[in-house]
Structure formats: C-alpha cells, structure tokens
Structure 1
C-alpha cells in the first residue's frame, strides 16, 4: 500500500462521516423549520435524486478530465454548498427559505455523484493488483465504522450541541477530505474527447450487461440483491420489530447497530483472508450470497429478538464477503477510464432498483404481512447465489 492509497482511504472515510452528519443535521433542521415529518423525510430523497441525475452527466466529464481532478473539484464544491447551507440556516426564520435549502441539498447530492465513482475507479490505480482484496476490505470496513459513528454518535451530538455546530463540523471534515484528495497520485491515462456523445453515455451500461467478461451475471445479481435489500429499509425493519418480535423502537436501533457490527467484523475478517478472496472471487461471491439467503430465511422464521440481532450480526461478514469479492472482480476486469463509467452506470442502476425495492417491499408488507417480505428477499438472495454458482462453474471450465 502506498501513500496515495491511504490518502484515498482517508478521503472516503472522512467524507462518509461528514455527509452522514450533514444528512442528520439537515433532517433535524428541516423538521424544526417546517414542523413537518414529511418534509424532513424528503432530505435523503432529494439528495439521492441529485446523485441520480449526476450519474447521467459523469460519463461525459470523465471522458475529458482525470479522475483526481474531478474528485478535487467535487470536494471543493461540496464545501462551498455546505457553507451556503450554514449561512442560510443562520438566517432561516421563515418557511420561504426551505426551497433554497432543498435546492442546495439537491446540488450537494449532484456534486457528490461525481465523487463516488471517481473514488472507486481510483482504488486499483493506487495499489498493486495483488493487494486489491485487502484494499477493498479496508475501505469497506472503515466505511461501515464511520457510518455507525455518524448515525449513532451524530444523534447525541446534535441533541447536545445543536445543528449549526454539527454542520460546521461537517464542513471542517470535508475540508480535511479535500486536502487528502490533493495528495492522491494515480497512474495517468490518455483521455479522449472525440467519442460520440451517445457512445460515451451508453458505454457504462454496455459494460454492465457485457456477457463476455461475466459482468452481466454480476449485474443480474446486483438487481436481484438490490430488490432484496428493501428488507433493511427503516420502515420495514420497524414493522418487523413491532409485529413479529413484539418489541419497541429501541430494538429497531439494536438491530441496525447489529448490522453495522457484523459488517465491520466481516470486513476485518476478510482483510485477514484477502488473498484467498482475491484468488477466487467467484467462489467468495457464491458463498456470500448463499449464506445471506440462508440467514434471511432463519431471520424470517425467528420470533426471538436476541436471536434476531445475532442473525443480523452473522449476516454482516457474508454481505461483506460478497460485496468485496465483487469489487475485486470488477476492478481486475477493467481499466481506470472504463471503471469510472461503469461505476456511474452502476450507481444509476442502484438508485432505480432501490426505488423499485421500496415500492415492492411496501406492497408485500401491506397486503401479505411483513414476514413475507423476508421470505421474498430470501428467495431473491438464493437466486443470486445460483447466478454466482453458474459464474463459478464457467470460470472453472475456462481454467
């Protein structure tokens, strides 16, 4: 691991914490300004919609500029936007200011949409291929750690110090993250400005569904597991806790914490065995998907709260195993300029699938009961593991 990787790692981790605190701060601020739970719930939605639109623009930008430059500029713009929000909140006394705040939240999401694929595409340029597994494990683990800190400690800090101070902390964290982005040095490549616009736009989608390098199989698995991921939407988990486990809201928090603990532990374990994951990512993907399916079925059948938390913790390592192995596989297949476009299309697909997941899991919960949401998800994870098995068999036949 060289210094550029550690700067990139720091950039990802610190930005994650800053944006977690920013999201929580804005949710609380909007609620206090409007006294509306509906408007406060729109904060994350507006932010994600901004990222969704940026994924259409990113392929054209990445065609003209190096990823390091895109990352630096997007980080700087995020600082400017958050500072503008800070000034508005200092002045905000009337509801008319809400439109401006939501507009800035949308722009913040749009700008962040350039950071995410840039960072992921830069990973294989800052480490040797041999260390890809360890690098992705390290990033994934700290990502979960900082998410846990942001969403747990953030609530306490907001309650004690107020949203303006925490928003200022978010700005300071983004400034530190911006400084780390300046230090990243990656392999240079030649960028083309002559490609047709339509060809540039569809290039990421073409790679996602390319059957020749198994990326189409990975994409199909992503779609299945993306729909299944609706089981962890806050509303579904809360209904399961209340109706199946017969517990109060605090157990909802325990289960969320258990998920983060499992993911962190899983990331640390995979770091120890990163070479094995990297040597055979197909097998790792298959094992991860199958055991997630098995544990989700057990979770649906169980009615004891303590066991539910243990099952969620156990799921964490298998989720991480599958995700990290997939990242390693993708990063070994493509060059940096192709990776950036693929990750932009991948993000776009994720937002579409997530929207559908929210819709379908809500319908199943309302019409058939929340427990059937988990049976449905278990079947999707099982189907995904069969896809992984087909990928594994195909890889063995080639070798």
Structure 2
C-alpha cells in the first residue's frame, strides 16, 4: 500500500486537518473574546457550510481545467495566504468581525474543491486491491485529528490564546503545502476541448450529478449516503445538549464525553478496517448491510436510554459501525467509477450531502422542539433501517 506520493498525501492532509481544527478553535476564542456573543459563534459553521456548498457546486469547472495536484497545492497555499492576511490586518489595523467572516468564507470556499480533489487523488496513488486499507488508514488519521485536535486545541488556546493558535495553524499550513507540492500523479488529464462556452461550462457542472444519477451502482451508493446524512443530523450539538439535560439528567460536560466516545469509536472502526482489510473487502456488501442495521439499533437504543454509562458505550458503538460503513461505501464508490469520473462525483457529492445535512439539522431541531429528543432518535433509526433494507435490495450493485 505504501507509496511515496501516498505518504506525502496523508502527511499533508494530516497537517492541514490539524491546522483546520486549531484555526477554528483559535477563531472561536478570538470571536468570543472580542464580542462575547453566542450568535456570532453560531454564524461561523453556517458560513463554512454555505461556502463549501457553493464551492462544491462550481468545482467541476476547475476539475476540468487543472490537475488534482495543482488544485490541492493552490488551495492549501491560498488558505495559508488568507490566514496570513487575517493576521496582518489585525496587526496593522484592528480586529474586524466583517473582514474575519469574509476570510472565513474564502478559506472554506477553497476547501470545497480541495476535499473532492483529495478523495479522487487517493485511488490514483494506491493499487486497487489496497483501497480498503488506504481508505481505512486515511479515515483513522482524520478521526484521530478530530478526537485529539479539539481536546488539545482547547488546552492550547487556554495556554497561549486564540491569536497564537492562528500563527500555529499558519506553520502547519506551510508544511502541508510543501508535502502537497511533492505529490506525483501521472494520470493523464482529460477535459473538455472547449470549456469557454456557456454550454460546455453548464455540461461540466452537471456531469458529476449525472454520473450519480445515471450509473446504477453510484446512484445506489449515494441514496444510502443520503439516508445516512439525514439520520446523522440527530447527533448535532443542539440535539445532544437537550438529550444530556432531559434524558440523562447530566450537566453539559457529558455532551463532551459523548462526542469523545463517538470519535473514539470512529478511530477504533478505522483501525479495525485496516487490520481486517481483506475480510472487509471480501464481504463489502454484507459489511454495509450489517453496519446499517447495527447503527439503526444503536441509534434507537441510544435515544431511548437514560443511563449515562450506557450512552457512552452506545455512542462509541455507533461511531465504530459508522466508520466501517463509511470506509466500505467509499471503497465501493471508488471501484464503481473511473479515476476520471471521481473528481466530479466527489464535487457533486460534497454539495449534495452538505445541503442534505444542513436542511436535516433544521428539521431535527424542529422535531425535537415540537415533540421530544427521543422522537428525533426514533425517526433517525427508522431512516437507518430504511438504509439497511435498501442496501439489502441493492446488494449486487455494492459488490466490488
């Protein structure tokens, strides 16, 4: 599995992801210190989601014109320069909320095409038979950063402050850019001969969506993703806060414990998939089906459970099954599509799923307010059960 370029990819992404976490932690600390407003803090994830959706929608135009490596290098370099600009503006003039939000939008906009470029790059750097192991390894790194990054970021920001966290992020971004620059992708670039006309641009924008809709196996995989992303909205902070207070009868520190065990489950799930890559690969459709029903049962039990200790165990179990399922779906998709189709498919996927998650978050928040938090978890479990049934019906299309 190990190649020099694959190593450069995961090292660059590890540093970039760590920087992203530290940047958000530092930014939140600065905004809270400057404004003391919870509303302004809530605006940040909204801006990030909107920016990534818009960027993901227009990403195919860039994917037609430029190589994946070029997009990854430019995106990381531009993020570095934007973050440096934010710091220089603060030093030269004074901190400004509007300018900060504009730069946050721009940085997130760059991520909107970097993410599909990275996901599409991976199958080009490893052998087809090593995809399960490679996806598991990268997913484990991503979740380890999430698990340790927020905790260490919180400690660091308390020790050195938000402003110094931004400088630390800059250092990580610079090194990440260096590793991205070392990538070698010898795959031939295939694009439209004339991308200057309105029709060809429109065709390029539609192409990823058409791949998802017209290719049966890819359509099936994305319908499973949609079920999963709708249901996953039940785990947002707003609903877990209510769950902790009303169902568990604990203070909000337990929200952090539940998050931590969920991410721990994700990490263990990634390690499991690395260790048993051959077994998972051999039974890929069955792994997706079993994990779908497993997450359904775990989500339902979690929502009806009132024991804090049991909640931690169930959270970790759901995280474990979610990671194994996600890796399996990712691998199925990478094998169902050609390496030239993948960039546009991932771009459309990013736009689709970010929109689905955003709308679902609002709907589940409304359901929790109108009925109860347990009712929201029951609905999520029913959606996951539907995903399991659909996966069973489409089992043959999920095979490698």
* d(CA) in 1 for partners of 2:201, 2:396: 38
Partner of 1:148: 147
* d(CA) in 2 for partners of 1:173, 1:60: 29
Q: Is the 8 A contact 1:228 1:378 kept in 2?
A: yes
Normalised by the length of structure 1, the TM-score is 0.95
* d(CA) in 1 for partners of 2:186, 2:348: 23
Q: Shift in Å at residue 30 of structure 1? A: 1.6
Partner of 2:26: 25
Q: Is the 8 A contact 2:132 2:327 kept in 1?
A: yes
Q: Is the 8 A contact 1:62 1:337 kept in 2?
A: no
- Aligned-pair RMSD on alpha carbons? 1.5
Q: Shift in Å at residue 395 of structure 1? A: 6.2
Partner of 2:183: 184
**Aligned length, in residue pairs:** 394
Partner of 1:120: 119
Q: Is the 8 A contact 1:24 1:151 kept in 2?
A: yes
Tell me whether 1:358 sits opposite 2:357 in the alignment. no
Normalised by the length of structure 2, the TM-score is 0.95
Q: Deviations over 1:154-181 (max 9, x none)?
A: 0111011101111111111111111110
How do 1:107-256 residues align onto structure 2 when only pairs under 5 Å count?
107-194=106-193, 196-212=200-216, 214-256=217-259
Q: Deviations over 1:184-207 (max 9, x none)?
A: 112321322326112111111111
In structure 2, runs of 5+ residues without a counterpart are: 195-199
Q: Is the 8 A contact 1:263 1:320 kept in 2?
A: yes
In structure 1, runs of 5+ residues without a counterpart are: none
Q: Shift in Å at residue 211 of structure 1? A: 4.3
Instruction: Tell me which moved more, 172-181 or 83-92.
Output: 83-92
Partner of 1:53: 54
Q: Deviations over 1:233-272 (max 9, x none)?
A: 0010111011000000111110000001111011101111
Partner of 1:267: 270
Q: Taking structure 1 as reference, are residues 183 and 43 closer, same or farther at Cα in structure 2, changes over 3 Å only?
A: same
Q: Deviations over 1:63-98 (max 9, x none)?
A: 01110011111111000011111223335646xx21
Partner of 1:279: 282
* d(CA) in 1 for partners of 2:291, 2:361: 23
- Runs of 4+ deviating beyond 4 Å: 91-94, 393-396
Partner secondary structure for residue 337 of structure 1? coil
Q: Deviations over 1:339-393 (max 9, x none)?
A: 0100000000111101111111011101111111100100001100111111215
Partner of 1:299: 302
Instruction: Tell me which moved more, 121-130 or 189-198.
Output: 189-198
How do 1:317-396 residues align onto structure 2 when only pairs under 5 Å count?
317-393=320-396
* d(CA) in 2 for partners of 1:361, 1:188: 43
Q: Is the 8 A contact 1:66 1:191 kept in 2?
A: no
Partner secondary structure for residue 214 of structure 2? coil
Tell me whether 1:64 sits opposite 2:65 in the alignment. yes
* d(CA) in 1 for partners of 2:284, 2:214: 18
